[in-house]
Chains A and B, each alone.
Chain A
Amino acid sequence: MRWIECGGRLVTGAAAAVVLSTGINAQQPTAPAQPTVTAPQSRFVVVVDAAHGGDDTGGHLNDGQLEKSATLAMSVRLRSLLSARGIQVVTTRESDQSLTPDQRADIANRARAQACISLHAAETGSGTHLFASSLGSSSVAKFMPWKTAQSSFVTRSLALAGVLNSALTHGGTPVTLGRTALPGIDSMACPAVVVELAPARDADKKTTSEPDDLNYQAQIAATLAAAILEWRVEGHQP
């Protein structure tokens, strides 16, 4: 297992200028979707982001379900498990709703979370694919550029990915690790990891559970919740 570095870094040029100009607009607060807050009893906050939604269906899973539905189901499950353990959870969406990457980052950044988990589902590969931002690491500043806010948290995002990786691997789920550029994640000012749920496969690579299989989702969500508890216990807080 190895990290694939970079390949997705922004460089200067006309295209970058376009992206940066949208970044400036993004700092004007748009009206974000109402975040759902549960169990506000401690200052350990977890943001759970169900990727896609609304017009953005995400991929098509083999059994006909859309990725946006699988990620929402997984988000609801993970939120319940964490709330039951007394962890304050902020979700980016609780219904089939369209959100821009900036709106997701806005919700996460207002929550001032200690862990941000963005959920995806795919038909390729197996087990879970963990991704951290491909941005280079930088020190925390009072004002951070919106598009690269994650750079101040990359080291802790990698540490969080490490905790999730060992919990999932220990639970028998194959894990791949990678780094990538994703607009929502790159703007999040919190330790942030993308969890892409892929099918469970046997030794012959035949699918044994689809990413929207309820039992499979329950197993992965329970492992993620346990790992996040461990992350809290280890004192990975600002």
Chain B
Amino acid sequence: MISRAQTVLLILLVVASLTMAAVLFRMRERAHERLLAGQDSAPTQAPSVTAPEQATLMVANDDDNSLRGEVYSLPLPSDPGARARAVLGKLLDLYAAQDSNHPIAGGAASVAQVFLLAAQGGKAVSAGQNEPQLAVVNLKSSFVASHPSGLETESLTVLSICGTLHANLPRVTQVRFLVDGEVRPSLAGHADLTRTYLTSDAVPADLAHP
């Protein structure tokens, strides 16, 4: 026989756990909203007051399955995340151009954000540290949807993003990809987007640190 006190306690516990579940669910939703709200706050292009700097882009070529280092002068923000987004934006603008040897539609706006984290663990790094970094590249789904399907073309896109990040932010040694903030199985059916890529081997040594 269950006493009245036990029944009341049970009801209280059930109510408490349901309340906690509701609070946690709401907090998760808010965190997601905050993430999405921050998506467009990073500048696609650097402010014009920033002096142009040299950036090395590892440009893919479908004709010979190669990456070539090409140096461009462009305004780069000082914030590393925004800087990473700016160089990748320039790279994807090249791919969206008419005469591209690695044609993909979308251009600079295809990179929603680039987050830089400590390569091991997950806490954000502050300036001045020298630990290797993990870059998390958040691509827009419109870019992925328009990406041509194929082992060569998809591998080249991944490698050129990895190589370009490492060439301009040498501390970036690992890269992961998100699409609209979520993990996707592949870019367009071939290149695995669930794994962590190592950047160092995608860049010839002489181009790694311009």
Contacts and interface: CB of A to CB of B under 8 A. Distances in A.
Contacts, number: 116
B196 interface: yes
A181 B195 contact: yes
A170 interface: no
Nearest to A177: B65
B149 A58 contact: yes
A123 B148 contact: yes
A183 B191 CA distance: 10
Interface in B169-183: 174, 176
A102 interface: no
B159 A125 contact: no
Given A7-B202, A56-B189, A178-B65, A124 B150 contact: yes
A1 interface: yes
In the complex, which range does the number of interface residues on chain B fall in?
35 or more
A228 to B, nearest CB: 20
A194 B65 CA distance: 14
B188 interface: yes
Contacts of B159: 4, 7
A141 to B, nearest CB: 24
A210 to B, nearest CB: 13
Contact of A1 (B62, B64, B158): B64
Which among A7, A120, A176, A196 has the greatest number of chain B C-beta atoms within 10 A?
A7
A52 B64 contact: no
B67 A4 contact: yes
Nearest to A58: B189
A165 to B, nearest CB: 12
A15 B66 contact: no
Contacts of A18: 194
Contact of A125 (B63, B158, B188, B195): B63
A194 B195 contact: no
B203 to A, nearest CB: 9
B62 A15 contact: no
Contacts of B120: 13
Contact of A7 (B148, B151, B190, B198): B198
A39 interface: no
28 contacts: A4-B67, A4-B202, A6-B198, A6-B202, A7-B158, A8-B192, A9-B198, A11-B196, A15-B176, A15-B194, A18-B194, A19-B195, A56-B189, A59-B148, A120-B150, A122-B152, A125-B63, A125-B150, A126-B63, A131-B152, A177-B65, A180-B155, A180-B191, A182-B151, A183-B192, A196-B150, A196-B151, A198-B152
Interface of B: 62-67, 102-103, 120, 148-153, 155, 158-159, 162-163, 174, 176, 188-192, 194-199, 201-202
Interface of A: 1-2, 4-11, 13, 15-16, 18-19, 52, 56, 58-60, 67, 120, 122-126, 129, 131, 176-178, 180-183, 194, 196, 198
